Amino acid sequence: MKILWGYVWQYRYRFLIGVLGLACIDMAVLLMPHFIALAFDALSDGTATRELLRKLCLTMIAIMTAGIFFRFLWRYCFSGVGLKINRDLRQKIFDHLQTMPPEYFDKHRVGDLTAHMTNDVQAVEHSVAFGMLAGADSLVMGGMIIVLMLQENWKLALLVLVPAPIIMIVVRVIGRQIRVLFGKVQESFSAMNERAQEIFAGIMVVKAYGDEPASLESFGKEGKAYVDNSIALVRKWAMMGPLIMVVSNLCMALLLWFGGKRIIMGEMPLGTFTKFYMYLGTMTWPMIAVSEVINHLERGCASAERIQTIIEEESTIKDGTENVKGETLLEVKDLTYKYPGAIKNALENITCHVAEGETLGIVGRTGCGKTTLVDLCMRLYSPPPGTVFLNGKDVAEYKLDELRGVFGYVPQEPFLFSMTIKDNIRFAKPEMDDEEVVYWAKKAFIHDDIMRFNDGYDTWVGERGVTLSGGQKQRIAIARALSLRPRILVLDDALSAVDAETESEILKELGEIRGKSTNIIIAHRLSAVKNADRTIVLDHGKIENIGVHEELKVSSPYYKELFMLQSAVIEDGK
């Protein structure tokens, strides 16, 4: 609640104006029963004249017309505050998450984070816009009505209002149960969604293996669960309306009995009765609202807390202060790294280095820690202090953008953004002109492919545009990295989906344009690391061997095996 209030506090003046507008309009609304009662009294005791009726009628219209302005003001202020908070929060979360390391996103599913940013932010907005609005409304309105009723006839007021608290209890208790059930319905809905997603995405396999009946059945199971949960929800939810109706009408019934008896006994004029009747009609909403408001505020608080937890979680990667200076020298000294929450070390006692103009090769089985090693160098993950050094200083000392600016990274599974191919290539350097984009695309041997698309470089990537093959994606990612002219180029198995012909062309081109730059090449194919100044062979996170091609061919069992495999066919052919 404190957090929520903190959000509102920023916009307190707007909020205050809203409350004032609200008070005005509530008063106006409450004057209506008063005038109606006046009319009824006058009519029943015979003092009414046409003139009086006309006056009453005009006064009512005048008041309501004036009220329209306050009503608008009030909604505008409250909803506006909600929207502003929504905007601020969303941006705040976004800004924060952007600084979080990839490790954080391994831990949290992207879908969940997105859901937080939409659902939780929206819940906060609603709790402010609706919750606080309706809360203020029902408090002011309900309070006024109760005061008026007490003033009019306190005994009758107390009698008639007996069932009112029941509404709140009903709405609270059932509301809570409904929320639990609703959560289940949503869960089963998304389970159904996921099932369909999975089956449709794998439709080729489903069809090839004739799995249609089983797939249908598994989808049907989720569908059935959804139906069951929905009906369970309705069993409770359908009670809400009738119960509220019963309770609010119970007040009316009590009024009929106790109020009626008073009239019969001549203790009370009909006008009071009418007023009570009108007030009770107006009371129903605040009674429902109070409990709704509590629900909304609760939800908003829970969401605000979740948001706060997200925002307050500090990045494990702190920014440093140093700028990168001097000749490139990347050193890894006795690095042992374990992913947070993992049992086994991903890397153990790694020591290696790559100096200006050198090429470091890394080979090893899938999952042996190759990608981890380069991620740590770029501080995408945080290496333990005193293990990774750039130009003699611990990487942690550098400003993050300086450090990362050193590297041009082509990841194993290239990630392209849903923008044009051109924008993807110049992603890291948006100021690049078309000519330069084409230049680098040619260097990465993707230019011809791009020209084959109808829109060329302006072809949109992703769902709205073309689907690129793995090899095409990899080459675009290479063009993107190359265009930065990075001091250290990191190719993380970046040619695996490119066919052999193109691979060799690209490697040749790399040799030429990169000249004496520094490269780190992770590869499965030895051709890519054959000419490296140094190649490390990783096995289960440890260095099995380190050396140049000719040495490793002899000394490293794994490298040897790879070499035999990849050269075997040549001998066959010769």
343 binds another protein (CB under 8 A): no
Near another protein by CB under 8 A: residue from 3, 8, 20, 60: 60
Tokens of 451: 């020209």
Cα first-last separation, the chain: 79
Least distance from C-beta 283 to another protein, angstroms?
A: 15
| 99 vs 351, beta carbon nearer another protein | 99
Least distance from C-beta 98 to another protein, angstroms?
A: 5
**By rule CB under 8 A, what string of x and - marks binding of each residue 121-150 to another protein?**
------------------------------
What is the rounded CA–CA span in Å between residue 398 and residue 404? 9
Least distance from C-beta 259 to another protein, angstroms?
A: 9
Q: For residue 76, give Cα distances in angstroms to 18, 133, 573.
A: 8, 10, 80
Identify residue 211 by its one-letter amino acid code.
D
**By rule CB under 8 A, what string of x and - marks binding of each residue 439-458 to another protein?**
--------------------
Q: Under DSSP, is residue 136 helix (H, G, I), strand (E, B) or coil?
A: helix
Which one, of 328, 368, 342, lies nearest residue 559 by Cα? 368
**By rule CB under 8 A, what string of x and - marks binding of each residue 348-387 to another protein?**
-----------------xxx-------x--x-x-------
555 binds another protein (CB under 8 A): no
193 binds another protein (CB under 8 A): yes
Instruction: Lay out the sheet containing 488-492: strands in order across.
Output: 407-410, 488-492, 518-522, 359-364, 534-539, 542-547
Q: Under DSSP, is residue 533 helix (H, G, I), strand (E, B) or coil?
A: coil
Give the number of residues in contact with another protein, rule: CB under 8 A.
163
Scanning residues 525 to 544, which ones bind another protein (CB under 8 A)? 525-527, 530
Span near another protein by CB under 8 A; candidates 12-20, 158-166, 195-203, 337-345: 195-203
218 binds another protein (CB under 8 A): yes
| Eight-class DSSP state of 469 | P
Identify residue 539 by its one-letter amino acid code.
D
Span near another protein by CB under 8 A; candidates 165-173, 319-327, 382-390, 406-414: 406-414
**By rule CB under 8 A, what string of x and - marks binding of each residue 475-504 to another protein?**
-----x---x-----------xx-xxx--x
Near another protein by CB under 8 A: residue from 98, 151, 321, 433: 98
Near another protein by CB under 8 A: residue from 176, 180, 267, 309: 267
Instruction: Lay out the sheet containing 347-355: strands in order across.
Output: 347-355, 329-337, 388-390, 393-394
**Residues 6 or more apart whose Cβ sits within 8 Å of residue 2:** none
Q: Could you identify the residue written with the tokens 């333990």?
A: 384
Is beta strand 359-364 parallel, antiparallel or unpaired with respect to 534-539? parallel
CA 554, chain centre distance (Å): 52
CB neighbours (10 Å) of residue 370?
24
Near another protein by CB under 8 A: residue from 3, 34, 44, 465: 44
Scanning residues 7 to 36, which ones bind another protein (CB under 8 A)? 32, 35-36
Span near another protein by CB under 8 A; candidates 103-111, 157-165, 320-328, 384-392: 103-111
Q: Under DSSP, is residue 347 helix (H, G, I), strand (E, B) or coil?
A: strand
313 binds another protein (CB under 8 A): no
At residue 92, φ and ψ (nearest 5 deg) are -65, -45
154 binds another protein (CB under 8 A): no
561 binds another protein (CB under 8 A): yes
